[in-house]
Every structure is written in C-alpha cells, then in structure tokens.
Amino acid sequence: MVHKLPSVDVVLVGFGWTGAIMAQELTEEGLEVLALERGSWRDTGTDFAPSFIQDELRYRYHGHLFEETAQETLTFRNTPDQTALPMRRLGSFLPGTGVGGSILHWNGQAWRFLPYDFQIRSQTVARYGNAAVSQDMMLQDWGITYDELEPYYMRWEELCGIAGQAGNVNGQKQPGGNPFEGPRSKPYPTPPMKQTYGPTLFGQAAASLGLHPFPCPSGNMSQAYTNPLGVTLAPCTYCGFCEKFGCGNYSKASAQTTILPVLMRKKNFTVRTESEVTRVNVDAFGKHATGVTYVDAQGNEFEQPADLVIVCAYATHNVHLLMSSGIGKIYDPSTGQGTLGKNYCYQLTPSVDLFFDDKLLNPFVGAGALGVIVDDWNGDNFDHTSLGFIHGGYIAGYMTTGRPIETELLPEGTPKWGAKWKKAFVENYLKSMSVSLMGAVMPDKSNHLDLDPTYRDVYGRPLMRMTYDFKQNELKMQDFAMGKMVEIAHAMKPREIKKSARGPRYDIEPYQSTHNTGGAIMGASPADSVINRYLQHWDVPNLFVVGASAFPHNSGYNPTGTVSALALWAADAIRRQYLKHPGPLVHA
C-alpha cells in the first residue's frame, strides 16, 4: 500500500552537495523544500571526528561512507557483445550515500572547465575541420558558454573558500597561476596551499622545461575562511585523510562545512533520511511531474507530491531514476535513437611513479588537493594537428596521502609479494611519488547506459547497465601524455621511474576516480539532449536533473566545480525565471 502524503513546493531527490545547493537557493524564495535522502544524517562530530576518522581499513577498504552495492549498483560490460555482470563490490568509482553525499569524501581538487569544453564541437571543427571528429564520437556543444557560467563558478569558489592562484583575471594574465584558464571575474577567495617537497620538485622541473606550473585549486583550506553565508572553515592540517574520508577538522569544503549550518536553521526546509526515491511520477500525458515515490528503511512506500521535482542524486543514479520512471526515451546505439543514457563518459588516469634515493618526501604530510599542476596539454591549449586525438588532461604532481595500504609505489620488476616486495616497499615508501594525468574522455557511440535485461535491485527495478570502454581518442591521448609525464619525471631527477598506463580495456575493479558523467545530458536541442541549458527536462518542465549526468563529455579536470556551477546556474534560473512563469525555459 502506498501512503500519499501532503504536497510540498519542492522535493529534492538526494541530499548531497547539489541537493544542499538547491535547498539553500530555493528556500531563499520562501518555498517549502523537502529533501529525500536514502542514507542517514551525518555530522562532523558524530561521523568523522578526528579521534577516529584516520582509519584506512574502515573508510577506504570497507567503504564506510560509500553506498552499498546491495542497495544500489549497476551491471557492467566493455562492449555490447558481452554480457553485463553486476558490480558486486565498489571499485573503479565510489559514490557516497547519506547527508552530504559524495563530496563528503572528495579530495578537494577544485577545477573549472575550459571555455573550449562548452563549445567543444564547434571549436574543434573550426580549428581542425570536420575530420577531427570521428563518426563514432558524439561530440556536442553544451548549450551554454563559459562566460555565462563564470559568475556561478565564482559563487561556488566563494561558497567553498577555494584556495588558489589565479592565472587570468578579466583577461589579465597573473604570474604563478594557470595561464590557460578561462578569464575569471575575481581571484580565488583564499591564497594557494603551501606545497610540500614532492609537488615543489614537480613545479621546479616543469618550469625548467618551459612549462607553466601552478598550485592546484583546493577545497582544503589554506587559511581560516568565512563564506558569504557566514559559515567558517578551519585551516587544513595536512593529515592526508581526504579522499574516501570525511574531514574531522572542518577544513574541507562540503555540504556540512559550507551550507548546512545555515540551511538547517530555516523553517521551510526538511530533510527526510532513510528514504530512497524509486520513481518520479508523471501525469498521464508524461508532461508534468506530480511528485515522487519513495521507500523507507522498513520498506513502507510513500507518495510525495510536489510542484517541482529536482533530481540531484549521484550522476549514475539520476540516469537510473529517469529510466526507472519511464521518463524519456532510452538511447539505443544500434539505431542512434533516444537520448537518455547516451554520452556516458569517465576519465583516464595513467601515471608515472618516481623513486628517489636521496629525497625524503614524507607522503603522509598530504592533503587531497595538495599539488602542482601543468595545464599545457589540456583541452585545446596546444595544437592537435596530426596527433590523432582531441582534448587532453592536466598533469599533476600531487602529494595527497601516505596511507600505507593504498600508497604502494614499487619500482619496475618488483615481485608482487614476499621478501623482495617487502624490501622494495620499505625502501621506497618515504621516497616515492607519482606524476599523474586527469585525462578527458570523449563521448562514443557505443559507450552508454541503459537498463539491464537480467539483474534487479532490492526494489525489483532493473539495474542500470553500463557499457563502457576506453576508445582510440583516449588511448592515443594517453600515449602522448605519457611521453610528457616521463619528460617531467626525468627532469625531477629520480633514481628511476615506472610507467603505469590504463587500459587498453577499462577495468571496473581498481579505483580510478568517482568522475562518472553524462547519460542525462544538457544541450541546445531535445533531439540530442535530455535537459535544456538550465538542466530542465525537455519533456517535463517541472523536473530538473542536476549533477555530472548533465555533462555531454568529460573534460581533463575533476568535475565537482562544474557540477557546482551548473547547480547554482540552474537554481538561479528557477528563482529568476521559472517561479515567475512555470513552464519550459527554452522552447524547442
């Protein structure tokens, strides 16, 4: 039996980072906002206090802050000719659950995408001709420009106190920053983090090669910071437990440290935890969302009507929820029909490990966004003529952690276990680091999401099926970037290096990044996108879908900044336009 509840103005599906942004913005309009969150309430003092959070086994290996596959997972295969099998354990990516969502356990690497990204198809064709975009590459412009999004990037950085060195303020190049970044309206709100030895060596080597090193923009605080909402974050203490952990020190930007202290004082906001939305309900014509159906921890089913439905769960779950709700047509790679599930992308993250004889790097003195970067081979920052690929990625000398189960860098030829393994691990632990690539992934015709024909979740819904593999563009880009990484690595003068490439097949087991994108993408036309430039569903105007699911491709940067800017942009469109005239904000 479904219990029907009284209606609310706005219901949010998921109460992670984008949920917190939407709630904060829409409650400002006096709307009554209800967030439905499948996980539990989470707070710094109770859930990730510095008296017990530095526990690699519990959080990294037993995934204490992550979603459980028993509750939600997907099936995976590399290519359509294979049979997809369930992801029974998390591996390659680590979605969160509970209040605060995945940003709770992010590293804090706080990037903007390039102006090129938002107009990638038109700019690629303009510079290199039609032939640069292969037939299988479903490259498309985003329907929004960097300049339009810039004020929202700025708001995000100010909300989170991002620490960094600007490289381009209103077109003026700034020394020490990223000369390739899009023009910023203001510098970063806080100065960059102080670098430890490893990133410093990387920066010196990159500069000696004529490259343009700069400190990684950081959601770990370089100093105490009070954001525009009046919430204060504390300076980062470099404990090295960021990604996969909550910050016990209020030093990492998250919903808990930037928005919740203000939002939770508002009488027109409620979050209901242990409540998993299983369906967005639409009227008989499929043109109006009537609310959502959710299930509590006991299995009781509730119908929650709402005037406005905002789906802001993790990227893959946004797509799954639309599919489970029968909203939109699921993409079929064999016919090219349908838009829901297409342009699923990920990232490619090869690295070069460096081993020194004479330098103690103390990897445990780390922070999630502690590092020096070169952006010379990202986006269209360099000439791709006759390279055979487009885009690229940033190359980083990070020193994020020395957690000893996970941080195992071993020279070439080291046995995987036994006395020689032990000797090599002990000898190199304090004196090794990695240079890594955050490689972009372009949309491919056969990489997509749909529903699995066999496997079902605990609610009896078909699991979502992921079909994904690295394609020629990524593999060629990896070869190119590997050459550049090796060059920088040698310039750092280590005893030896080891190349660690990804692929050629994508493997869902080893951790790579929680940077899943696409599947419910934004665009200029309902013919090739699910949502319009304001993240509003083309078919159902009172439904918005917020998150990295909106990305038509994945860039060579961590996605959180762009996820956040898009959420703020969509919230602004709802506040300024939609509430005055509910209906489509873009006419197809």
Partner 1 sequence: MKPKKVSRREFLAASATAAAAAGAGAIGTTPAFSRDVHGGDKDPWLPHQADAPHPLQAPDYKFFTPEEAAFIEAATERLIPDDAVGPGAKACGVALFIDHQLAGAYGRAQGWYMQGPWSKGEETQGYQSRLTPSALYRAAIKAIEDHVASSHSATPFAGLAPDEQDAIISDLEKGKLDLGGVDAKTFFKMLWLNTKEGMFSDPIYGGNKDMAGWKMLGFPGARYNYLDWVDRHGQRYDQPPVGIRGRPEWNGEG
Catalytic residues: 515
Q: Does 6 bind partner 1 (CB under 8 A)?
A: yes
**Do strands 33-36 and 8-13 pair parallel, antiparallel, or not at all (unpaired)?**
parallel
Tell which one of 11, 18, 21, 78 touches partner 1 (CB under 8 A).
78
Q: Does 85 bind partner 1 (CB under 8 A)?
A: yes
Strand partners, 397: 372
Tell which one of 174, 200, 281, 446 touches partner 1 (CB under 8 A).
200
Give whichever of 370 and 567 is closer to partner 1, judged by the CB atom. 370
**Interface size with partner 1, residues (CB under 8 A):** 112
Query: What is each CA distance from 524 to 16, 111, 130, 144, 252, in whole angstroms?
Result: 27, 24, 20, 8, 35
Kindly state the smallest distance separating residue 488's Cβ from partner 1, in Å: 19
**Which stretch, 154-162, 264-272, 277-285, 314-322, contacts partner 1 (CB under 8 A)?**
264-272
Give whichever of 66 and 377 is closer to partner 1, judged by the CB atom. 66
The interface with partner 1 within residues 478-517 (CB under 8 A) comprises: 505-509
Give whichever of 375 and 452 is closer to partner 1, judged by the CB atom. 452
A 10 A CB-CB count for 174 gives 16
Give the 3-state DSSP-derived string for 491-508, with helices as H, strands as E and coil as C. Answer: HCCCCEEEEECCCCCCCC
Which residues have C-beta within 8 Å of that of residue 416, sequence separation ≥ 6?
A: none
Of 372, 396, 395, which Cα lies nearest the Cα of 477?
Answer: 395
How far is 395 from 178, CA to CA, in rounded Å?
12
Kindly state the smallest distance separating residue 417's Cβ from partner 1, in Å: 5
Q: Does 271 bind partner 1 (CB under 8 A)?
A: yes
Q: Does 446 bind partner 1 (CB under 8 A)?
A: no
Handedness of CA 166, 172, 174, 180 (dihedral sign): positive
Tell which one of 107, 123, 165, 249 touches partner 1 (CB under 8 A).
249
Kindly state the smallest distance separating residue 184's Cβ from partner 1, in Å: 26
Kindly state the smallest distance separating residue 575's Cβ from partner 1, in Å: 11
The interface with partner 1 within residues 355-394 (CB under 8 A) comprises: 359-360, 362, 364-365
Q: Does 186 bind partner 1 (CB under 8 A)?
A: no
| 504 cis-preceded (ω within 30 degrees of 0) | yes
Residue 437 and residue 350 in contact, taking contact as beta carbons nearer than 8 Å? yes
Q: Does 402 bind partner 1 (CB under 8 A)?
A: yes
The interface with partner 1 within residues 406-425 (CB under 8 A) comprises: 408, 416-419, 421-423, 425
Q: Does 451 bind partner 1 (CB under 8 A)?
A: no
DSSP secondary structure code for residue 72 in this structure: S
The interface with partner 1 within residues 7-66 (CB under 8 A) comprises: 7-9, 27, 29-32, 34, 40-41, 43, 45-47, 49-52, 54-58, 61-64
Query: What is each CA distance from 12 to 34, 298, 332, 484, in whole angstroms?
Result: 6, 21, 29, 44
Q: Does 449 bind partner 1 (CB under 8 A)?
A: no
- Residue burial 188-212, b: 16+ Cβ < 10 Å; e: rest: bbbebbebbbbbbbbbebbeeeebb
